[in-house]
Amino acid sequence: MAAQRLAALHAAAPSAFSSTSSASHGRPAARSSTTALLPVALPRAAATLRAAPSRLLPQEAKAAGSGRSVMCMASAASAAVASGAAELKAAREDIRELLKTTHCHPILVRLGWHDSGTYDKNIKEWPQRGGANGSLRFDVELKHGANAGLVNALKLVQPIKDKYPNISYADLFQLASATAIEEAGGPKIPMTYGRIDVTGPEQCPPEGKLPDAGPSAPADHLRKVFYRMGLDDKEIVVLSGAHTLGRSRPERSGWGKPETKYTKNGPGAPGGQSWTAEWLKFDNSYFKEIKEKRDQDLLVLPTDAALFEDPTFKVYAEKYAEDQEAFFKDYAGAHAKLSNLGAKFNPPEGFTLDG
């Protein structure tokens, strides 16, 4: 059954995956005012993913032979129809198979976070308030500096969207993110589904909503960005723990080393610098490594170091470095909260997949 499911995904996968990669975690302030909220994976899709012609992404769809733009499923009026539980469960199985072959856990986590992380609690109207509404599928938002490389994540999940067209992009992005955490060994995330998609690129949020990796006052910057989303100091620290996944490439971001002993052989395209030695395993090693700073082959950004320099952040960071169970418990709740930010649900209370 799994082999049949994976074969179906391979047949629909974009041909651009011959060298799938993504941009890095962040950019220096001198180069960009924004950076990635989450670390970046550098997956290399299996060769079989290139076997068939791709379906175009939403912003690329054209009427064959006429040059006319066509209304894709993402922008149709039916986008207001929420996802169904049966299709979401089937899509989750396909995501699990995708993760096994592409090692794309970090970039899928980042995809979900960057769709929801634009939320502004001070704006009540939907979709002006930003958040988890599927807007990241549009080219105008994908081109934001903080989202560099996420077009590759969209290409990874687009065949699944094509296979299950009634699933909203907003739900698919968050399903992929939570599944990636769980499959990497992390906690079960208590997710809610039924998110409704925005219908056009004019509904995308303005650039500049996501945090910078190298601000002059890292702790203040983190609070400014995350408080705007309605998150607190504890949630800032625990969510930062997702940096246990992923790596950064200096040629794309200005951060990290070209390669280390942990990344020179992949998996996926080799190179970059990771935050942890086992950068496809979700655990509390991120906090341990930042605290010790004993390995020059592991990355520590200014916003990472701030977790042990700021006295309030440090209380939580110390706790999570010592207690993985506490980290997992708090992370699961914070991830679920982040995934719901700004979302509009149908039904209004949403629904779950696992009871």
Surface-to-core class of residue 141, CB atoms within 10 Å of its CB (0-12 exposed, 13-18 middle, 19+ buried): buried
For this structure, is 144 an active site residue?
A: no
| Alpha-carbon gap, residue 294 to 71, rounded angstroms | 54
> How far is residue 141 CA from its own chain's centroid?
14
| Alpha-carbon gap, residue 119 to 342, rounded angstroms | 6
What is the enclosing helix (H) or strand (E) of 247? strand 247-248
Query: Which of 304, 265, 212 minimizes the C-alpha distance to 42?
Result: 265
For the chain, the farthest-separated pair of C-alpha atoms sits apart, in whole angstroms, at: 62
> How far is residue 97 CA from its own chain's centroid?
18
| Alpha-carbon gap, residue 86 to 193, rounded angstroms | 12
Catalytic: which of 105, 114, 243, 335?
A: 114
Residue with tokens 């974009």: 14
List, by residue number, the catalytic residues.
Answer: 114
